[in-house]
Chain A
Amino acid sequence: MAIVDPARARRAPEPWNDPAAIPYVRIENVVKRFSDFSAVNDISLNIYRGELFALLGGSGSGKTTLLRMLAGFETPSEGRILIDGVDMAGVPPYDRPVNMMFQSYALFPHMNVEQNIAFGLKQDGLPKPQIAERVGAILDMVQMSQFAKRKPHQLSGGQRQRVALARALVKQPKLLLLDEPLAALDKKLREQTQFELMTIQEKVGITFVMVTHDQEEAMTMASRIAVMDRGEIVQVGTPNEIYEYPNSRFVADFIGSVNMYEGRLVEDESDHVVIDSPALGGTVYVDHGVSAAPGANVWLAIRPEKIKVSRTRPAGTHNITRGKVRDIGYLGDVSNYYVTLQSGETMEATLPNLVRLAEPAVLWDEEVWLSWEAENAIVLTS
């Protein structure tokens, strides 16, 4: 029996790796200026049919602005947007095959749940029985049938979120835009809803573009992520690519936590590089090549969970350093060790707590050895 990575199995095809695949949404060199300030600065992006695409970025990075241009509430200052091959320039929001789920949900307060959901279908002039049928079906899907007659103010946050989703989905748009769909929910409900949303997306087969500033949410849900910073896209890739192969210090730092040290490239071969890092007190061996000349200044990024902590010196000559434990953060499932290296820099290591109430392997102020595999250090040139 073959063991299949479930995440791969669910989204087997990867159209973005297939040069023949035709993108469903094309964003071409789009710029959006508000007076003299560019909120979105020359963004190009291809999104494929059936994707759950996440726009991830800090506050003010232009995520909402980009989404609003897809919905038609803002017009690009430059560039163009095509959805399913049709140029959207001049197409008003009410004529676009796109629906949006608003961050504030924007449920109509004077209509009950059923009327809210039926609103979009009524605008299409659908016959009444058909509207009733589709509203009933979507209410079932989001498990809100028993609340059909309630007004929005009589619903909890999670219930409102479902109604907002149902209202946007019931029109079966080509593209569903979600602006921080889960931001208003508490942590527990948010995690549960993430999977529900993914299940629903697979069921209806609609392409989702989701804005979020929560990197865990993007990692959990998205087929691909575009990391945005100050109106530009810094990196596009699958959650795995973005986490394991960030292309810049910004991305490495933004997604998850990371230890970052300066170094100088001393040896550059096609299958490995050696970096001299005073911060780490020696040379570091990395088993992949980089595109930088020897002598160049680079940064080394190592994820905390990839670091091993031990009392005795591990075997090997590279990728080992020493330090003194300064702090231990107990998080329940894992503990974070903050170790002060001999250079004065700090290295964070995350270790799982495998045994209940066990004495921590390492205690405060202990001298420890830290090591990592050659494949786990990332060399960044920008």
Chain B
Amino acid sequence: MLDRRSRLVLTAMAFAFAFLYIPIVSVIVYSFNESRLVTVWSGFSLKWWRELPQNTAMVSAALLSLKIAFVTATVAVVLGTFAGVALARYKRFRGRTLFTGLITAPLVMPEVIMGISLLLLFVMLERLTGWPERGFTTVAIAHVTFTMAYVAVIVQSRLVTFDYALEEAAQDLGARPAKVFFVITLPIIAPALVSGWLLAFTLSLDDLVIAQFVTGPADTTLPILVYSSVRRGVSPEINVLASIIVGIVTIGIIIATLLLQRRERIRRREAWTG
């Protein structure tokens, strides 16, 4: 029998899950709605699923957003890792406070300000050098600047519990510092890098404000498209698109979980036999 406390916990959990997932479920349900109106249910249909591929604007916006998110996450992980390592490792160097401030400022800076300052920078740069043209490149650069901060913070906090004796041991066994970093440090903190990558990916995919400032007329990201179409009246295709994204994310999470579980199982089996 469940005691009172665990029943309370279960109820609270059920509410929390309901709060989180009912909107998502309703998006999926409404993607099969027959009606033109997003909010009125008028019967089951696959109409909008069939129509989405024809909506080239939406498809290309989605692809653009995914591409930007991918590039952003990858670059942000590389730069953010170096920044995080520098912050964690070098406790005292000239300008450390300034460096810390510069790296973490994007975390607290209002998006509007980030957007407008980056826009000013890009406009000036383009006038002076002819590069970058506003669009994919500028959005990606802008996203890297603010997602990098998140990666840096994740890596830095992972390194707080990192045992530096491991690096010394590797050096002692003959590995040069650069090699030690790639062969010992990186593999050990890899989970932090993966979560950093996923976070950067999601942040980039999600960003509306900054992208709106720095993108050009040719490149419309998905959030921009959705936002502007909402003002004109939402097309039910958005529900379909949302369902697809939810589906992709779910599959990704399931695969990741399965992989982790399998590794755990193998590890446990090894521990038993061996």
In the bound assembly, the distance between CA atoms of A149 and B274 in angstroms comes to 8
In the complex the two chains form, what is the Cα distance from A198 to B234 in whole Å? 80
Q: Is the CB of A171 within 8 A of B274?
A: no
Contact B163 A106 (CB under 8 A): yes
Q: Which of B128-136, B167-175, B252-260 contacts A (4 or more CB under 8 A)?
A: B167-175
Taking the nearest CB of chain B, how far is it from the CB of A104, in angstroms?
5
Q: Is B184 an interface residue (CB 8 A)?
A: yes
Instruction: Compute how far the CA of A26 lies from the CA of B270 in the bound complex, rounded to whole angstroms.
Output: 46
Of the 9-residue stretches A116-124, A236-244, A293-301, A358-366, which lies at the interface with chain B?
A: A116-124
B176 close to chain A: CB less than 8 A: yes
Query: Could you say which of A93-101, A182-190, A212-220, A225-233 contacts chain B?
Result: A93-101
Contact present for A94 and B184 (CB under 8 Å): no
Known: A104-B165, A106-B165, A106-B168. A149 touches B173 (CB 8 A): no
Given A100-B169, A104-B163, also A171-B174 (CB < 8 A) = yes
Which B144-173 residues have a C-beta within 8 angstroms of A?
Answer: 163, 165-166, 168-173
Residues on B facing A (Cβ under 8 Å)? 163, 165-166, 168-176, 179, 184, 187-188, 267, 270-271, 274
Q: How distant is the Cα of A100 from the Cα of B270 in the complex, in angstroms? A: 29
Listed in ascending order, the chain A residues whose CB lies under 8 Å from chain B are: 71, 73, 92-95, 98-100, 102, 104, 106-110, 119-120, 123-124, 146-147, 149-151, 154, 167-168, 171
Residues of B within 8 A of A167 (CB): 173
Among B163, B172, B175, the one with the most A-chain Cβ atoms within 10 Å of its Cβ is: B172
**Contact indicator B274/A147 (Cβ below 8 Å):** yes
Min Cβ gap B232→A in Å is: 53
Q: Specify the chain B residue showing the minimal Cβ separation from A102.
A: B165
Identify 5 new A-B residue pairs, CB closer than 8 A, beyond the known A94-B174, A106-B169, A150-B274: A71-B172, A102-B168, A102-B169, A150-B271, A154-B271
Cross-chain contact B168 with A94 (CB below 8 angstroms) = no
| Contacts known (A110-B187, A110-B188, A154-B274); A124 close to B169, Cβ less than 8 A | no
9 residue pairs A–B, Cβ–Cβ below 8 Å: A93-B171, A94-B175, A94-B176, A104-B163, A109-B166, A119-B170, A123-B175, A151-B270, A167-B173
A215 CA to B271 CA, complexed, in Å: 36
Cβ distance A171 to chain B, nearest Cβ, rounded Å: 7
Give the shortest distance, in Å, between A289 (CB) and chain B (any CB).
Answer: 48
Contacts A109-B188, A110-B187; A94 near B171 (Cβ below 8 A): yes
- Bound together, the chains give a CA A167 to CA B184 distance in angstroms of 15
Verify A119–B173 contact, CB threshold 8 A: yes
CB distance from B274 to the nearest CB of A (A): 6
When distances are taken between beta carbons in the complex, the residues of chain B under 8 Å from A93 are: 168, 171-172
Q: Is B172 touching A100 in the complex (CB atoms < 8 A)?
A: yes
User: Contact at A123–B270, with CB atoms within 8 Å?
Assistant: no
B168 touches A154 (CB 8 A): no
A149 cross-chain contacts in B, Cβ below 8 A: 270, 274
A167 to B166 alpha-carbon distance, docked (Å) = 13
Residue of A nearest to B174 (CB): A123
| A102→B170 CA distance, assembly (Å) | 11
Contacts of B184 in A (CB 8 A): 108
Assuming A149-B274, A150-B270, A154-B271, is B165 touching A99 (CB within 8 A)? no
From known contacts A106-B165, A108-B184, A109-B188, infer whether A94 and B274 are also in contact, taking CB-CB under 8 Å: no
Q: Which residue of B lies closest to A119 (CB)?
A: B173
Instruction: Considering the complex, give the chain B residue whose CB is closest to the CB of A92.
Output: B171
Task: Please indicate the chain B residues that have their CB under 8 angstroms from the CB of A98 in the complex.
Answer: 172
Q: How far is the CB of A263 from chain B (nearest CB, A)?
A: 49
Residues of B within 8 A of A110 (CB): 187-188
Bound-state CA distance A93–B163 (Å) is 18
A85 vs B184: C-alpha distance when bound (angstroms): 33
